[in-house]
C-alpha cells in the first residue's frame, strides 16, 4: 500500500518535472502582436521578444530599420519605402510622401490648395478630404489611408519574414494631437493592410515607455520630438501606470530640413563668392543639397567636415567663345564646415525650440524643476547644440540612450508585448485620453 502511494507520488513528481523542464526548454513563444510607428517621413516595426524581454526593431533585407514613408506608382507597380524613394526624382508627380499630414483631416478649400502647392504631386479636395491624383498610363485618385496601408503592408511583410509566422494584430502610435477621426483613419489604413489594431497610443507616451518610464517612479515627463520638418513638445503626467498628456505645443515648420537649408544657402553664397556666379543647374543644387545634408549628419560626431562638390557653372569666363558662352564650365567646389559655423548659422532656429517647451510648462502649471525626466525623440535631437540647449534650460541631462529615430517604435513594441500577454502581469501602461486638449502652434 505504502509502495503504491509512493509510486503514484513519483509519477506525479515526474509529470510535474517534465512539465517544468518542458517549459524551460521549449522555444519561447513567437510574438503575435507587432508595434507600428507610421511616421510622416519614416516608418518602423518592432516586436517584444518574450524570451529575452527585449524589443527587436525589425530591419528590411538590407538591415535598414527606418523605412521612408513614400509610395510611388508606375505603369506596372505600386512601390513603397526605399524603392519608392528612389523614384522621387524621376517620377515626382506619382511619388507621394507626407501622407500622414492629410490622413483623416478635414480641410478648408484654400488651406488644402496652399498645402498642395508645397508638393510635386497633386493633392485634390474631395469634399474637404485630401486625395492624391496619380497619372501613370491611366489616371486615378488614392486616399491618404491607402498610402498608409501600403506602408503598413510593407511593415507587416518585414515582420512576417523576420518572425516566420503570419501577423494579424498590431498596436500603432499616432501624434498626441490626432483627433478621433484621424485615429479612425489610421486604423482604417491598418485594416486595409490586413491588420487588426488592438490599441492606438500617443507617440510621446510610446517614447516615454521606450525608456521604461512606465515602470519607475516619475510624475512629469517632457517629450521633445524634433524630426525633419516638425517639432512636437508634450508634457506627460504619470499616475501609477497611467499616462495623461497634460499639454502639447509645437512648431510644424521647424526641423532638420531647415538646418540643412541654412547650410545650403551658405554653400551657394560661397560658390558665388569663389566663382562669381551662383549654381543654377538643378543637378548642381541637388548635389550641393546632398553634400550639406551629409555634412550636417557628420557634424553630430565630428568637429568639422570637408565637402567637395563637382559643379557646372555658367561663368562669365573670357576663355569661353562669345557665342557658345552658355556651355557650363565644370568646377569643383570645396569647403570646410565646422560645427561652430553650423551652430552659428542656425542659432536663431535652435532658440525657437524653447518657445513650445515654455508653453507646455505654463499650460501644465509646472516649473521647469518639476520635470522629472526629459525624453528626446527624432533624428534632429542628435545635434549636440540642441541637446546642450535643453539640458542647460532644465539644468539636467535628457534621456538619450535609445536611438531617437527608434524610440517611438520601441515603446509601441513594448505596448504590443503587453497586449500580446508576453509581459509580466504587474507591468501595465494605460493612456488616459484627454479629449479637450489643444495643441499650441508656433510657426
Ligand X SMILES: *[C@@H]1O[C@H](CO)[C@@H](O)[C@H](O)[C@H]1NC(C)=O
Judged by the rule CB under 6 A, the positions of this chain that interact with ligand X are 75-76, 127-128, 137-138, 180-181, 184, 211-213, 216, 294-295, 298, 305, 307, 373, 397, 399
Q: State which residue, 58 or 170, has the beta carbon closest to ligand X.
A: 170
Q: If DSSP states are collapsed to H, E and C, what string results for 76-134?
A: CCEEECHHHHCCCCCCHHHEEECHHHCCCCCCCHHHHHHHHCCCCCEEEEECCEEEEEE
CB of 294 to ligand X, least distance (A): 4
CA 319/CA 340 separation, integer angstroms: 39
Please report how close the Cβ of residue 148 comes to ligand X at its closest, in angstroms: 16
Asked if 352 contacts 262 with a C-beta cutoff of 8 angstroms, the reply is: no
CB atoms within 10 A of CB 22: 9
CB of 180 to ligand X, least distance (A): 4
Shortest Å distance, C-beta 291 to ligand X: 6
**Is there a contact between 84 and 77 (Cβ–Cβ < 8 Å)?**
no
- Residue 233 Cβ vs ligand X, minimum distance, rounded to whole Å: 18
Q: Is the CB of 213 or the CB of 268 nearer to ligand X?
A: 213
Alpha-carbon dihedral 312, 317, 323, 324, rounded to 10 degrees: -20
What is the distance of C-alpha 267 from the center of its chain? Answer: 28
Residue number with CB closer to ligand X (181 or 272): 181
Total length of the chain: 443
Catalytic residues: 37, 100, 203, 225
CB nearer ligand X, residue 298 or residue 325: 298
Nearer to ligand X, 32 or 188 (CB): 188
Query: Closest distance between ligand X and the C-beta of residue 321, in Å?
Result: 36
3-state secondary structure the chain: CHHHHHHHHHHHHHHHHHHHHHHHHCCCCCCCEEEEEECCCEEEEEEEECCCCEEEECCCCCCCCCEECEEEECCCCEEECHHHHCCCCCCHHHEEECHHHCCCCCCCHHHHHHHHCCCCCEEEEECCEEEEEEECCCEEEECHHHHHHHHHHHHHHHHHHHHCCCCCEEEEEECCCCCHHHHHHHHHHHHHCCCEEEEEEEHHHHHHHHCCCCCCCCCEEEEEEECCCCEEEEEEEEECCEEEEEEEEEECCCCHHHHHHHHHHHHHHHHHHHHCCCCCCHHHHHHHHHHHHHHHHHHCCCCEEEEEEEEEECCCCCCCCCCCCCCCEEEEEEEEEEHHHHHHHHHHHHHCCHHHHHHHHHHCCCCHHHCCEEEEECHHHHCHHHHHHHHHHHCCCCECCCCCCCHHHHHHHHHHHHHCCCCCCCCCCEEECCCCCCEEECC
Nearer to ligand X, 11 or 216 (CB): 216
Residue closer to ligand X (CB basis): 203 or 373: 373
CB of 178 to ligand X, least distance (A): 11
Q: Closer to ligand X by CB, 363 or 372: give it.
A: 372
Shortest separation between residue 152's beta carbon and ligand X, angstroms: 18
- Between 32 and 183, name the residue whose CB sits nearer to ligand X: 183
Q: Smallest distance, Å, CB 213 to ligand X?
A: 6
Amino acid at each position: 500500500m505504502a509502495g503504491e502511494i509512493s509510486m503514484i507520488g513519483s509519477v506525479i513528481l515526474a509529470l510535474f518535472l517534465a512539465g517544468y523542464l518542458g517549459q524551460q526548454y521549449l522555444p519561447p513563444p513567437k510574438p503575435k502582436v507587432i508595434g507600428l510607428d507610421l511616421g510622416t517621413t519614416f516608418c518602423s516595426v518592432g516586436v517584444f521578444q518574450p524570451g529575452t524581454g527585449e524589443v527587436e526593431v525589425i530591419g528590411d533585407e538590407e538591415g535598414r530599420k527606418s523605412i521612408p514613408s513614400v509610395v510611388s506608382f508606375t505603369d506596372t507597380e505600386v512601390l513603397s519605402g526605399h524603392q519608392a524613394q528612389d523614384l522621387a526624382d524621376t517620377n515626382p508627380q506619382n511619388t507621394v510622401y507626407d501622407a500622414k499630414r492629410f490622413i483623416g483631416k478635414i480641410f478648408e478649400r484654400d488651406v488644402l490648395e496652399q498645402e498642395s502647392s508645397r508638393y510635386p504631386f497633386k493633392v485634390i479636395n474631395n469634399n474637404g478630404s485630401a486625395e492624391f491624383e496619380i497619372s501613370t498610363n491611366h489616371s486615378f485618385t488614392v486616399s491618404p489611408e491607402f498610402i498608409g496601408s501600403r506602408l503598413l503592408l510593407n511593415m507587416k511583410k518585414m515582420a512576417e519574414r523576420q518572425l516566420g509566422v503570419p501577423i494579424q494584430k498590431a498596436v500603432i502610435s499616432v501624434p498626441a494631437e490626432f483627433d478621433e477621426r484621424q485615429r479612425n483613419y489610421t486604423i482604417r489604413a491598418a485594416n486595409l493592410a490586413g491588420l487588426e489594431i488592438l490599441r492606438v497610443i500617443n507617440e510621446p507616451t510610446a517614447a516615454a515607455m521606450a525608456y521604461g518610464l512606465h515602470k519607475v517612479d516619475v510624475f512629469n515627463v517632457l517629450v521633445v520630438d524634433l524630426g525633419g520638418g516638425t517639432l512636437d513638445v508634450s508634457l506627460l503626467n504619470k499616475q501609477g501606470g497611467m499616462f495623461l498628456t497634460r499639454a502639447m505645443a509645437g512648431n510644424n515648420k521647424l526641423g532638420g530640413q531647415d538646418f540643412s537649408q541654412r547650410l545650403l544657402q551658405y554653400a551657394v553664397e560661397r560658390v558665388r563668392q569663389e566663382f562669381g556666379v551662383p549654381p543654377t543647374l538643378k543637378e548642381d543644387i541637388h548635389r550641393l543639397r546632398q553634400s550639406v545634408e551629409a555634412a550636417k549628419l557628420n557634424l553630430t560626431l565630428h568637429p568639422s567636415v570637408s565637402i567637395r562638390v563637382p559643379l557646372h557653372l555658367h561663368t562669365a569666363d573670357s576663355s569661353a567663345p562669345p557665342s557658345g558662352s552658355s556651355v557650363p564650365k565644370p568646377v569643383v567646389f570645396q569647403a570646410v564646415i565646422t560645427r561652430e559655423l553650423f551652430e552659428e548659422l542656425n542659432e536663431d532656429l535652435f532658440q525657437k525650440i524653447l518657445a513650445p517647451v515654455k508653453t507646455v510648462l505654463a499650460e501644465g502649471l509646472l516649473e521647469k524643476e518639476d520635470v522629472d525626466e526629459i525624453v528626446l525623440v527624432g533624428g534632429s535631437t542628435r545635434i549636440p547644440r540642441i541637446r546642450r540647449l535643453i539640458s542647460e534650460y532644465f539644468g539636467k541631462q535628457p534621456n538619450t540612450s535609445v536611438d531617437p529615430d527608434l524610440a517611438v517604435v520601441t515603446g509601441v513594441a513594448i505596448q504590443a508585448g503587453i497586449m500580446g500577454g508576453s509581459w509580466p502581469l504587474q507591468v501595465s501602461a494605460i493612456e488616459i485620453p484627454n479629449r479637450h486638449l489643444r495643441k499650441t502652434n508656433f510657426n
